[in-house]
């Protein structure tokens, strides 16, 4: 199977604190990879380091064989890497449709072209497709800020897919979402993966969600990867149990 993302020896230090310590892993095409670990184990920092929000102290990241270490988020996004943030981030004063169009517009044509030409039909159609896919039809013209938290979360996830992405990284997509909405989110993500071959990396604390969604799980504790494997393997690993529950 083809490797989409390859991370090697990634380290991030903040002064004397090592938040990510020599972490290496790869993401294969078409898989859903989960990253779990106790609070403060470095999951989000790891994300930030290969997504350009932070510059890693050491280590490299390759996307489809291209070294993208230190690239800016917007350039990575144009290569097809998109992400959501742990805290919900949509644009509340824009409508659902406008949010989606914004999330897709920068991938098309040149910057000058976007000044002269209005949004093209293909982009608007893509936004419509995403609205249907995440069952947001009833709210398409509502301000995103007027939506419920769960719906905003769906919108946030939908925005990450507007880039027609190669790789989507979701940082706690289940946080604060009610069980019904969560089941739907999981179903939608699985459909994306199955029907469009979308590749995901998911950081999550909700074990049930991770274990039922992901094909493979990495466990981070104290800035290092302590275990990797299928959900069943990871759950049976004594080191993982120790990291979560202590001795």
Q: Which residues bind another protein (CB under 8 A)?
A: 51-53, 72-75, 77-78, 82-83, 85, 89, 91, 93-94, 98, 101-103, 105-107, 111, 114-116, 118-119, 159, 162-163
In terms of CB distance, is 115 or 121 closer to another protein? 115
> Three-state SS for 203?
strand
Alpha-carbon distance of 96 to 245, in angstroms, equals 41
In terms of CB distance, is 34 or 52 closer to another protein? 52
Q: To the nearest whole angstrom, how small is the minimum distance from the Cβ of residue 55 to another protein?
A: 14
Q: To the nearest whole angstrom, how small is the minimum distance from the Cβ of residue 73 to another protein?
A: 4
- In what helix (H) or strand (E) does residue 44 lie, and over which residues does it extend? helix 43-50
Report which of 155, 148, 153 is spatially closest to residue 174, judged by C-alpha positions. Answer: 153
Report which of 175, 201, 166 is spatially closest to residue 34, judged by C-alpha positions. Answer: 201
In terms of CB distance, is 27 or 51 closer to another protein? 51
In terms of CB distance, is 51 or 185 closer to another protein? 51
Q: To the nearest whole angstrom, how small is the minimum distance from the Cβ of residue 224 to another protein?
A: 26
Q: To the nearest whole angstrom, how small is the minimum distance from the Cβ of residue 75 to another protein?
A: 8
> Three-state SS for 210?
helix
Q: To the nearest whole angstrom, how small is the minimum distance from the Cβ of residue 126 to another protein?
A: 14
In terms of CB distance, is 64 or 106 closer to another protein? 106
Alpha-carbon distance of 152 to 18, in angstroms, equals 34
Alpha-carbon distance of 42 to 216, in angstroms, equals 18
Q: To the nearest whole angstrom, how small is the minimum distance from the Cβ of residue 92 to another protein?
A: 8
In terms of CB distance, is 28 or 119 closer to another protein? 119
The DSSP symbol for 227 reads E
Contact between residue 247 and residue 64 where contact means Cβ atoms under 8 Å apart: no
The DSSP symbol for 239 reads H
In terms of CB distance, is 35 or 76 closer to another protein? 76
Q: To the nearest whole angstrom, how small is the minimum distance from the Cβ of residue 93 to another protein?
A: 8
- Burial profile 185-220: b = 16 or more Cβ within 10 angstroms, e = fewer: bbebbeebbeeeebbbbbbbebeebbbebbebbbbb
Radius of gyration of the chain (CA): 18
């Amino acid at each position: 199977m083809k490797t989409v993302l390859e991370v090697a020896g990634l380290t991030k230090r903040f002064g004397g604190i090592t938040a990510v310590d020599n972490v290496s892993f790869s993401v294969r095409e078409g898989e859903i990879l989960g990253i779990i670990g106790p609070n403060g184990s470095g999951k989000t920092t790891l994300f930030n380091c290969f997504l350009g929000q932070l510059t890693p102290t050491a280590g490299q990241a390759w996307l489809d064989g291209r070294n993208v270490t230190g690239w800016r988020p917007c350039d990575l996004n144009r290569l097809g890497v998109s992400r959501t943030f742990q805290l919900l981030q949509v644009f509340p004063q824009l409508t659902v449709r406008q949010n989606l169009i914004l999330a897709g517009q920068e991938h098309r044509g040149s910057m000058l072209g976007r000044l002269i030409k209005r949004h093209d039909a293909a982009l608007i159609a893509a936004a419509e497709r995403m609205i249907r896919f995440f069952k947001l039809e009833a709210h398409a013209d509502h301000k995103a800020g007027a939506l419920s938290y769960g719906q905003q979360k769906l919108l946030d996830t939908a925005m990450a897919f507007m880039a027609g992405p190669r790789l989507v990284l979701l940082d706690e997509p289940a946080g604060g979402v009610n069980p019904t909405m969560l089941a739907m989110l999981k179903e939608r993500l699985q459909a994306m993966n199955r029907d469009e071959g979308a590749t995901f990396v998911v950081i999550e604390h909700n074990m049930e969600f991770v274990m039922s969604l992901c094909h493979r799980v990495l466990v981070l504790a104290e800035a290092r990867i302590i275990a990797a494997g299928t959900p069943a393997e990871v759950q049976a690993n004594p080191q993982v149990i120790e990291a979560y529950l202590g001795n």
